[in-house]
Chain A
Amino acid sequence: MNPVQSQQDATRRDGSGAETDRPPLAVVGSQISQDEELFGRAFDPWVIKRFMAYLAPYKRQLLIGLGCVLAFTLTQLTLPLLVRATIDHALADGADDLSLLQIFVVAFLGVVVLNYAANHFMETLIGKTAQRLLFDLRRAMYAHLQVVSLSFMDRTEVGRLMSRLQGDVNALQEFLESSIFAIGDLVLLVGIVIVLLSLDPALGGLTLSVLPLLLLVRIIWLPLARKAFMRAREASSTTNAALAENVHGIRAIQELRREAVNFELFEEKARENLDAHLAASRYTNVMVPIVDTLTGSAMAIVILIGGSMVLDNTLDVGVMVAFLFYVQRFFDPIRSLTLQYSIMQRAMAAGQRIFEVMDVEVEVQDAPDAEDPAEIDGAIEFRDVTFGYERGNPILRNITFKVQPGETVALVGPTGSGKTSTTALVHRFYDVWEGEVLVGGRDVRAVTQDSLGRHIAMVLQEPFLFSATIEENIRYAKTGSTRAQVEDAATAVGAHDFIMRLENGYDTMLDQRGSNLSLGQRQLISFARALLADAKILVLDEATASIDSYTELEIQRALARLLKDRTAMVIAHRLATIRGADRIIVLEGGEIVEQGSHDALMASGGLYARLYRMNYASFDDIPADEVAKAIASGERET
Chain B
Amino acid sequence: MAPAPDTAKRLDTQVDGAYSIDVSNVDATVLMRITAMAFRHRWRMSVAVLTTILGGLFQLMVPQYLGQAVDQAQGLLRDAAAGVSDQSAAESALLTSALLLLGAAILRGVFTMMHNYQGEAVGQLIGYRLRLDYYRQLQRLSLSWHDRVHTGDLMTRGILDIEGVRLWVDTGILRSVLLTVLIGGGAVVLFRNDPVLACVALSFVPIVGIRASIARLKLRDTWILMQDKMSELTNVMEENLGGIRVVRAFAAQAFELGRYDRISEEALTIASRRVRLFVLSTTQMTFVYFLAMGLTLWVGGAKVAAGEISLGQLTEALAFMLILQMPVRQIGWMINSIARASTCGGRLFNVIDLEPSIADKPGAGDLVLTEGVVRFENVDFSYPSWAKDDRTLAGIDLEARPGKMIGIVGPPGSGKTTIAQLLGRYYDVTGGRITVDGQDIRDVTLASLRDTVAIVQQEPFLFTASIDHNVAYGDPWAGRSSIERSAQTAQLHNYIKALPNDYETLVGERGVSLSGGQRQRLSIARAILPDAKLLVLDDSTAAIDAATERRIRESLKDYTKERGVIVIAHRLSSLMHADEIVFLEAGRIVERGDHDSLMAAGGRYAQLYELQARTGAEPKTGAEPKTGGAS
Contacts and interface: CB of A to CB of B under 8 A. Distances in A.
A156 to B, nearest CB: 9
Contacts of B602: none
Interface string A64-100: 0000000000000001001100110011010010100
Contact of A550 (B77, B369, B546, B608): B608
A20 interface: no
Contacts of B256: 146
Q: Which of A278, A317, A634 has the most CB of B within 10 A?
A: A317
A256 B257 contact: no
A457 B450 contact: no
A291 B237 contact: no
B516 A461 contact: yes
Interface string A139-178: 1001101110010011101110110011100100000000
B105 interface: yes
Given A135-B264, A246-B139, A310-B77, A158 B241 contact: yes
Contacts of A389: 513
B70 A464 contact: no
Going nearest first, the 9 A-B pairs with the smallest beta carbon separation are A453-B251, A520-B412, A296-B105, A415-B517, A292-B109, A637-B616, A23-B476, A289-B109, A498-B628
B262 interface: no
Contact of B280 (A86, A120, A128): A120
Nearest to B288: A116
B573 A415 contact: no
Interface centre among A9, A115, A281 (most CB of B within 10 A): A281
Contact of A249 (B131, B461, B472): B461
Contact of A310 (B73, B138, B286): B73
Interface in A379-431: 389, 393, 412-416, 420, 427, 429
A288 B143 contact: no
B78 interface: yes
Given A24-B476, A278-B124, A573-B546, A464 B242 contact: yes
Contacts of A51: none
Contacts of B267: 135
A113 B294 CA distance: 11
Contacts of A414: 517, 545, 547-548
A252 B463 contact: yes
Interface stretch (A200-208, A216-224, A481-489, A612-620): A612-620
B545 A285 contact: no
Contact of B112 (A289, A296, A460, A542): A289
Interface string A253-287: 11111110111001100110110011001101110
Interface in B235-287: 235, 237-253, 255-257, 260-261, 264, 267-268, 271-272, 275-276, 278-280, 282-284, 286-287
A356 interface: no
A270 B126 CA distance: 12
A162 B234 contact: yes
Contacts of A497: 626-628
A278 B121 contact: yes
B29 interface: no
Given A31-B465, A453-B249, 10 more contacts: A2-B562, A5-B531, A96-B305, A108-B298, A142-B240, A247-B154, A464-B245, A524-B627, A549-B611, A573-B545
Contact of A456 (B237, B249, B410): B249
B264 A453 contact: no
A564 to B, nearest CB: 19
B560 interface: no
Give chain B's interface secondary structure class: helix
A303 interface: yes
Interface residues of B, number: 212
Contacts of A604: none
Contacts of B426: 254-255
Contact of B450 (A255, A317, A476, A512): A255
A452 to B, nearest CB: 7
Contact of B627 (A154, A457, A494): A494
B517 A290 contact: no
18 contacts: A101-B302, A116-B287, A123-B275, A139-B261, A153-B244, A167-B159, A249-B463, A285-B113, A285-B120, A303-B98, A415-B543, A464-B246, A476-B246, A503-B387, A521-B629, A545-B542, A611-B545, A615-B546
A550 B628 CA distance: 12
Contact of B248 (A267, A290, A429): A429
Interface stretch (B191-199, B207-215, B216-224, B504-512): B504-512
A352 interface: no
Nearest to B59: A292
Interface stretch (B3-11, B20-28, B452-460): B452-460
Nearest to A312: B80
A320 interface: yes
A135 B271 CA distance: 10
Interface stretch (A36-44, A53-61, A321-329, A437-445): A321-329
A262 B474 CA distance: 11
B40 to A, nearest CB: 15
Contact of A258 (B70, B257, B473, B516): B473
Contacts of A143: 257
Contact of A248 (B77, B151, B239, B517): B151
